[in-house]
């Protein structure tokens, strides 16, 4: 078994059968680690049961890059393995293998954490298209994510651009829930629990990573399925965080009503959008309907498996 890392900071990139993306991101991460204001290294967690990334990763500079194999399917298992492999390191940074860090990305995260003492620091993701998207996709503006001033407190975060203070995470006794491994929402549950228990999560607007959106995601079907999945996982996580039977029942009712309101509101956009030939109204309305349907389904117990494997 590989020896856990001993550098103060570990950059973890999770991968699953994306050799081209891995070949592109690893040199960038090594550059970030070498220019870090504190000693840093990179760990690649290969979640492919066949360990397909082993040969490529182990051929990299062993003083900067380590390879670990996590055969248990699911992103929660891979993220848990990254936390284990960080060993006694104080800081752990997650980035996805299909993203690219911009100049100064890592040091911006570090500076914000030092200044705020936050348990987690999250940065923005900017999307670039692999090819021109369908006009419906462009009209919906679906791949434009939120931006906020640095230091803004948030209560939930994705893990595709996230720094964790592991000392605080360990203090709260937090871990990624492996039940969510093939479902999605493990990052929502983790960060909402962190915030709920008193851990501060702050935004760093300068720590940008670029996500290159592949052709298979630039479709109406993918956008609507993703919206449904997002709504479904939000409801499931909200019910998971309910502390008593009563709050869970009340939460289930609120989630159903909120989902139904989104379905109604989205439908109210789609119809006039079709009549007035507004792609923006049609696209945004359809996604709102899909998210609302996901919320209702999650509230009544349906589990959508976003990362199911065949």
Question: pLDDT tens digit string along 86-115?
Answer: 988 999 999 999 999 999 999 999 999 999
Judged against a pLDDT cut of 80, whether residue 47 lies above it is answered with yes
Residue 170 domain flag: yes
Query: In this predicted structure, what is the pLDDT of residue 3?
Result: 47
Judged against a pLDDT cut of 80, whether residue 153 lies above it is answered with yes
Residue 235 domain flag: yes
> Is 143 found in the same domain as 118?
yes
Helix (H, G, I), strand (E, B) or coil at 110: helix
Residue 206 domain flag: yes
Q: pTM (2 decimals)?
A: 0.90
Judged against a pLDDT cut of 70, whether residue 274 lies above it is answered with yes
Domain count, the chain: 2
160 HSE (CA, 13 A, CB side): 19
Angle of CA points 251, 254, 256, to nearest 5°: 110
> Is 242 found in the same domain as 141?
no
> Is 266 found in the same domain as 132?
no
Helix (H, G, I), strand (E, B) or coil at 48: coil
> Is 270 found in the same domain as 251?
yes
Boundary (domain end) residue, out of 193, 215, 237: 215
Residue 309 domain flag: no
pLDDT greater at residue 142 or residue 261: 261
> Is 224 found in the same domain as 211?
no
| Extended beta strands in 47-134, E state | 65-69, 91-96, 99-101, 120-122, 125-129
In this structure, the number of other CB atoms found within 10 A of the CB of residue 57 comes to: 24
- Asked whether 304 and 180 are in contact (CB, 8 A), the reply is no
Residue 38 domain flag: yes
> Is 195 found in the same domain as 267?
no
| Residue-range definition of the domain harbouring residue 23 | 9-215
Label residue 1 by pLDDT band (50, 70, 90). Answer: very low
Count of residues for the chain? 310
Residue 241 domain flag: yes
Judged against a pLDDT cut of 80, whether residue 2 lies above it is answered with no
Judged against a pLDDT cut of 80, whether residue 28 lies above it is answered with yes
> Is 62 found in the same domain as 162?
yes
Query: In this predicted structure, what is the pLDDT of residue 273?
Result: 78
Closest by CA to 80, choosing from 157, 6, 12, is: 12
Tokens 């937090």 found at: 174
- Asked whether 153 and 202 are in contact (CB, 8 A), the reply is yes
> Is 191 found in the same domain as 249?
no
| Residue 56: C-alpha distances to residues 67, 68, 200, 228 (Å) | 9, 12, 37, 36
pLDDT tens digits for range 56-83? 999 999 999 999 999 998 899 999 999 9
> Is 181 found in the same domain as 73?
yes
Distance in angstroms (rounded) separating the CA atoms of residues 182 and 75: 7
> Is 190 found in the same domain as 47?
yes
Residue 310 domain flag: no
DSSP state of 250: H
> Is 141 found in the same domain as 182?
yes
At 156, list the tokens: 């939930």
Query: In this predicted structure, what is the pLDDT of residue 287?
Result: 94
Distance in angstroms (rounded) separating the CA atoms of residues 13 and 246: 40
Distance in angstroms (rounded) separating the CA atoms of residues 167 and 169: 6
Tokens 């507004």 found at: 278
Label residue 278 by pLDDT band (50, 70, 90). Answer: confident
At 96, list the tokens: 């996805």
Label residue 162 by pLDDT band (50, 70, 90). Answer: very high
Boundary (domain end) residue, out of 155, 186, 215: 215
| Residue 40: C-alpha distances to residues 1, 10, 93, 118, 176 (Å) | 21, 6, 10, 19, 23
Query: In this predicted structure, what is the pLDDT of residue 5?
Result: 62
At 40, list the tokens: 């840093």
Residue 305 domain flag: no
CATH number at residue 38: 3.90.550.10
Boundary (domain end) residue, out of 189, 215, 241: 215
Burial 219-255 (b: 16+ CB within 10 A, else e): ebebbbebbbbbbbbbbbbbbbeeeeeeeeeebbeeb
Judged against a pLDDT cut of 70, whether residue 6 lies above it is answered with no
> Is 230 found in the same domain as 86?
no
Residue 242 phi, psi (nearest 5): -65, 135
Tokens 């592991």 found at: 166
Residue 142 phi, psi (nearest 5): -75, -20
């Amino acid at each position: 078994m590989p020896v856990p890392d001993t550098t103060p900071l570990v950059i973890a990139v999770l991968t699953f059968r994306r050799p081209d993306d891995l070949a592109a991101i690893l040199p960038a991460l090594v550059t970030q680690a070498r220019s870090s204001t504190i000693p840093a290294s990179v760990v690649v967690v290969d979640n492919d049961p066949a360990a397909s990334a082993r040969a490529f990763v182990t051929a990299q500079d062993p003083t900067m890059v380590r390879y670990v194999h996590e055969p248990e399917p699911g992103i929660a298992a891979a993220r848990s393995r990254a936390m284990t492999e960080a060993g006694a390191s104080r800081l752990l940074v997650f980035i996805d293998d299909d993203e690219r860090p911009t100049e100064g990305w890592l040091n911006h995260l570090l500076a914000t954490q030092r200044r705020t003492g936050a348990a987690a620091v999250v940065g923005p993701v900017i999307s670039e298209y692999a090819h021109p998207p369908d006009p419906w996709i462009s009209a919906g503006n679906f791949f434009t994510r939120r931006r906020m001033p640095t230091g803004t407190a948030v209560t939930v975060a994705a893990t595709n651009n996230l720094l964790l203070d592991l000392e605080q995470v360990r203090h709260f006794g937090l871990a990624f829930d492996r039940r969510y491994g093939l479902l999605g929402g493990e990052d929502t549950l983790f960060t909402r629990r962190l915030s709920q228990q008193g851990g501060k999560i702050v935004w760093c607007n300068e720590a940008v990573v670029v996500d290159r959106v592949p052709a298979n995601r630039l479709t109406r079907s993918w956008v609507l399925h993703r919206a449904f999945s997002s709504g479904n996982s939000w409801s499931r996580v909200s019910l998971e965080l309910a502390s008593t039977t009563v709050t869970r029942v009340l939460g289930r009712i609120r989630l159903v009503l909120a989902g139904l309101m989104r379905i109604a509101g989205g439908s109210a956009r789609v119809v006039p959008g079709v009549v007035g030939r507004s792609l923006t109204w049609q696209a945004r309305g359809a996604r709102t309907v899909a998210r609302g349907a996901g919320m209702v389904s999650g509230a009544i117990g349906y589990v959508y498996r976003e990362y199911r494997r065949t």
